[in-house]
Amino acid sequence: MRPNGRHTAGASQLSALRVWAVGLLLLSAVAINPTPVRAAPSQAATTHVYLLRGVLNIFSLGLDTIGARLQAQGIPVTVANFVSWSSLADEAATAYKAGRLKTIVLVGHSSGATALPDMIAKLNQLGVPVKLAIGLDSVFKTKLSTGAERYINIYIGDGPGEPVRAAQGLRGKLDNVDVRGTGVGHISIDKNEAIQRRVIAEIDAAIMRSRAPALPVAEHGAPRQARSAAAAAPARN
């Protein structure tokens, strides 16, 4: 039996509704899973910042805010739980040795901060330097045996945080910064606006240092010029 015109129109409308429904589902999937933000081609494209959250992955969400601000500057970031530090070190080492990565920066909060020395040590063993590491209130006694060019440990002296100790022969600069009395707590330190601004400023400064051309190293025994060319020019009255 052939369908009448009313049934044919109903079938066409149903097909159209199905097409619309599929389209809406696809748009929803794109909204839920947006394309990762990529840095614009620049010197910053050879920098990567790894941000390590603490236990349970829910108490260090200030690192997500820092990551978003860095991405807005065109700096690639990875935000992950601290348990991923070893695989992230392997990932960074592969990119560094392939020439895709020049400057590595690490930031961690709570247990993420405690994991930073281990991640630095692994990267160093793989022959990969770390430009900057910033720990926010490491919760266990932490000893830095191999170093980043600069390691900043921001901790709350009258809270659960601990200063980082330098092992004998440590190379690199270690700064322990006690922020007790500033109103920040262990759970809020990564979310504090002033702390976030400082972390981002330190990262920006490290990237600028990595861009600066290396100064020429004088050969041993070479005569040292006492005056610059300008100073050596005859004075005019």
Against a cut of 0.75, is the pTM above it?
A: no
Do 165 and 140 touch, CB atoms closer than 8 A? no
For the stretch 10-39, pLDDT in tens is 444 434 434 344 343 333 333 333 333 333
Helix %, strand %, coil % of the chain (to 5)? 40, 20, 40
Average model confidence (pLDDT) for the chain? Answer: 78
E strand or H helix at 107: strand 103-109
Distance CA 53, CA 61 (A): 7
For the chain, list the domains and their CATH numbers.
45-187+197-204 (3.40.50.1820)
Residue 83 contacts residue 90 (beta carbons within 8 Å): no
pLDDT reading at 8 higher than 60: no
CA atoms within 13 A of residue 131's CA, in its CB half-sphere: 22
- Asked if 206 and 105 touch (Cβ cutoff 8 Å), the reply is yes
Q: List, for residues 190-201, the tens digit of each pLDDT value.
A: 999 999 999 999
Percent of the chain surpassing pLDDT 70: 70
